[in-house]
Amino acid sequence: MYERQRGLAVYRHQGKGPQVVLIHGAMDRAAGMLRIARRLKGHAIVRYDRRGYGRSGSAPPMASFDDQVEDLATVIGGRASIVFGHSYGGVIALALAQQGNVPIDAVVVYETPRAWEAWWPPPAGEGLPAADAAEQLVRALAGDAAWETMPGAAQRARRAEGEALMAELRAQRTRRFDASLLAVPLTVGVGSASGERTQRAARLTASEASHGRLRIVEGAAHAAPMTHPSSIAALIREWLP
């Protein structure tokens, strides 16, 4: 089922148990969570294009990080949920969960950045025009060949998402979550093929939580929701009845 909430494109799939809410990272969209959703068939699944991306590109731009948190709370509604966040999506999931005022049963994150740390490098694309920064990130994630073969309309759409990207990069410089404040279980995933900085962030976030666990996804890097969706689905399934 497709609906609009707060100007966002929301996709709901009916099923059993607590709903699973899938939150994509920067320069992505709900479609990037589809492979995970397919491996959780039979469960209630919610995906949405975050503010500034995909079919939510016409939503008002993010005025503050709180807009992202409020968007997620609205999408969850009053139904008990397992929340999964990839990359920046994990920042949003953790920020909401630590408030303790939304029915979240567990949080699963994969390679969520800790960009406020002194050892975290400056954001890629800093100093570039927003559209160029967006193109640079897509090229870095998908490869130059994938960008060059992308239809012109798709390239323009991705470059238009640069403003949302830059707003999110700026917002990350302030600490947005503290896993020690979570009252619910937390699973932190990280790919075995990812770099030491990413591994360090995952270990630290998992260790902060009183009910935290670290899971290594063998052979995966940052794009695991696309390349290793069965492994990501398995992390989520640990919390499903």
Condensed to tens digits (0 to 9), the pLDDT of residues 41-76 reads: 999 999 999 999 999 988 888 889 999 999 999 999
This prediction has a pTM of 0.95
The answer on pLDDT for 126 being more than 90 is no
pLDDT band at 6 (very low <50, low <70, confident <90, very high): very high
Q: Above pLDDT 90, what percent of the chain? A: 88
The answer on pLDDT for 141 being more than 90 is no
6: alpha, beta or left? (left if phi > 0; alpha if psi -120 to 50): left
235: alpha, beta or left? (left if phi > 0; alpha if psi -120 to 50): alpha
**Domain regions of the chain by residue span:** 2-116+175-237, 124-171
Q: Write down the pLDDT at residue 122.
A: 83
Q: Which one is the CATH code of 2-116+175-237: 2.60.40.10, 3.40.50.1000, 3.40.50.1820, 3.10.180.10? A: 3.40.50.1820
